[in-house]
Amino acid sequence: MKILVVEDDAGLRDGLVDLLNSAGHRAIAAADGESALVHGADASLDLVLLDLMLPKLDGIEVCRRLRELRPELPVLMLTARGAEDDKVLGLRSGADDYVTKPFGTRELLARIEALGRRRGDGAEPPQIIVGDGCTIDLGRCVARRDGAAEILLTARETAILRWLYQHRERAVTRGELLERVWNSPGDLQTRTVDMTVANLRQKIERDPTEPRLVITVKRVGYAWGAR
């Protein structure tokens, strides 16, 4: 994959570029938010590794603009250890996943590869889902409610919707979503699934406090609720 590394720390940036290149990817680098947006317009780019704290434009704003420019482009955000608010902001701005600093190289490469596989899966024909006044185009990663403007969905959010819809006859556990959407162990103790679903509901539900599309199944996980 061709991967853009956006990191203002020169040592970490160079290390990430070397790591990705040695793993068989093609890495390019940007040291600030404005440069990241210039590189992000490159249609050959496959993934962005984005630091949260950047000069000129911070990672949140860069992610928002990249999502408008390239809604299908996976974004993996780097956040500080224990900063849950940063993780929530990153997901809400359009990031598909996050890794906390300091991180292990094996975990980072595994998450990059998982996002790359999901992007490759996007070559299938577009699939349209309609429910409760919301039309979701899984192929284009967009949703539209009641004829209003299109809402951009992340690759991760789209993958959740696709999996829930494909298995709409039953409830899907959080562990299953971790395995199928995040490519992570199903017994991993994390709130990532819940945070991502909460953000997704803000985009597609008529009333996120009373969801009708992505519903909660107590003590199990989630299910597709529209009929």
Strands 172-173 and 221-224: antiparallel
Domain segments of the chain: what residues?
Answer: 2-121, 128-224
Q: One digit per residue, pLDDT tens: the chain, 227 residues? A: 899 999 999 999 999 999 999 888 999 999 999 999 999 888 889 999 999 889 989 999 999 899 888 888 899 998 875 667 777 877 888 888 888 888 888 889 888 988 887 665 544 445 889 899 999 998 888 999 887 889 999 988 999 999 999 888 899 999 999 988 887 887 887 889 999 999 999 999 999 999 999 999 998 999 999 76
Q: What does the alpha-carbon distance between residue 156 and residue 115 come to, in Å, rounded to a whole number?
A: 8
**In terms of DSSP bridges, do strands 47-51 and 75-80 run parallel, antiparallel, or are they unpaired?**
parallel
Please state whether beta strands 26-30 and 2-6 pair in parallel, antiparallel, or not at all (unpaired): parallel
Range 2-121 classified under CATH 3.40.50.2300:
yes
Please, what CATH class does the domain formed by 128-224 belong to?
mainly alpha
Whether this prediction's pTM lies above 0.85 is answered by no
At 97 the pLDDT is 87
Domain 2-121 identical in fold to domain 128-224: no
What does DSSP assign to residue 126? Answer: P
Q: Are 131 and 161 in contact (CB under 8 A)?
A: no
Query: How far apart, in whole angstroms, are the C-alpha atoms of residue 158 and residue 181?
Result: 10
The token pair that represents 48 in the structure block: 């962005």
Give the closest residue to 41 by CA, choosing from 76, 62, 17, 70: 70
User: Virtual CA dihedral for 218, 215, 182, 5, nearest 10 degrees?
Assistant: -130
Token code pair at residue 145: 């409610």
